Structure 1
Amino acid sequence: MRGWLIVLLMLPLPAAAFTARNGMEVAQVGATGIAVAFRSGRADTDYWCAAGDYAQRVLNQPVGTRLWRASPKPREAGAGILFTLDPAERAEGAGLSQFGAGPQDGAISVGAAVSGHCRVIVPLWRD
């Protein structure tokens, strides 16, 4: 099952894909899957931001909704990352390291993904 997900994430997303606040392209996969397309030079946290932004603004999920990584680590070169809102679809050991109180299941809330990992990418314009 995971093999076709990796192939899917290596393909360009359709023109109707959502552009997250950090400029990354996101599309829905099935009922609970969120595919974030590969973007060169981006950190894993940028992918979490894009998935959280999609869940919040497109899927209208509340900020407390849990978000898991469904793609296993390590990510193949040139491949995007698949996320899920369903804990049964999560990839074991592929979540974020967490410290402190709360569930230690590799997930973060949609609100934490957006507020903690979204940074605005300001394009450099040339005149």
Structure 2
Amino acid sequence: MRLALMIFLALPLPASAFTARNGMTVEQAGPTEIAVAFASGRADTDYWCAAGDFAQRALNKPVGTRLWRASPKPRGSGSGILFTLDETRQATGAGLSQFGAGPRDGAISVGQAVAGHCRVVVPLWDD
């Protein structure tokens, strides 16, 4: 099953896919799975932003909903990342490092993914 998901993440997504606020392409890959397509030059936190934005705006999940990484680390060259809203489907050891209070389960909330990892892109020139 993981091989099939990895192949899915490597394929281009259809035009009907969701565009996150950071410009990344996202699609629902199952009842609780969120697939963020590969984008060159993006950090892993950009993928968390896109998954959180999709969960919040497309799936109407509350900001407190937990979000886990389902793709194992490390991410292969040219591969996207699969996320899940189901704790039982998380990839062992693939979550974010966490500091401060709160559960240490490798997940972050949808609200934290958006507020903490969605950066504003400022254009370098006027169009």
TM-score of the superposition, structure 2-length normalised? 0.96
Gapped regions of structure 2 (runs ≥ 5):
none
Shift of 1:122: 3.5
Asked if the contact 1:9–1:35 (Cα under 8 Å) also holds between the matched residues in 2, the reply is: yes
Q: Is the 8 A contact 1:20 1:54 kept in 2?
A: yes
Distance 2:12 2:125 in 1: 26
Structure 1 segments (4+ residues) deviating >3 Å? 122-127
Describe the SS at the equivalent of 1:13: coil
Q: Does the CA-based 8 Å contact 1:84-1:90 persist in structure 2?
A: yes
Please state how far the C-alpha of 1:124 moved relative to its aligned partner: 4.7
Residue 70 in 1 paired to residue 70 in 2?
Answer: yes
Give the conservation status (yes or no) of the 8 Å contact 1:69–1:84: yes
Please name the residue that 2:91 is paired with: 91
Contact 1:20 1:50 in 2 (8 A): yes
Change (3 A) 1:123 1:4: farther
1:28 aligns with 2:17: no
Q: Distance in 2 between matches of 1:67 and 1:103?
A: 12
3-state secondary structure, aligned to 1:54: helix
CA contact (8 A) 1:23 1:121 kept: no
Task: Look up the equivalent residue of 2:28 and give its one-letter code.
Answer: Q
Contact 1:19 1:26 in 2 (8 A): yes
1:50-61, aligned counterparts within 5 Å? 50-61=50-61
> Which residue is equivalent to 2:16?
16
Size of the aligned set, in residue pairs, is 127
Deviation at 1:125? 5.2
Once the two structures are aligned, what percentage of the paired residues are identical?
77
Structure 2: distance between partners of 1:114 and 1:39: 18
Matched with 2:100 is 100
Tell me by how many angstroms 1:100 deviates: 1.5
TM-score, normalised by the number of residues in structure 1? 0.96
1:48 — aligned with what?
A: 48
Cα distance in 2 between the residues matched to 1:74 and 1:32: 22
Q: Secondary structure at the match of 2:82?
A: strand
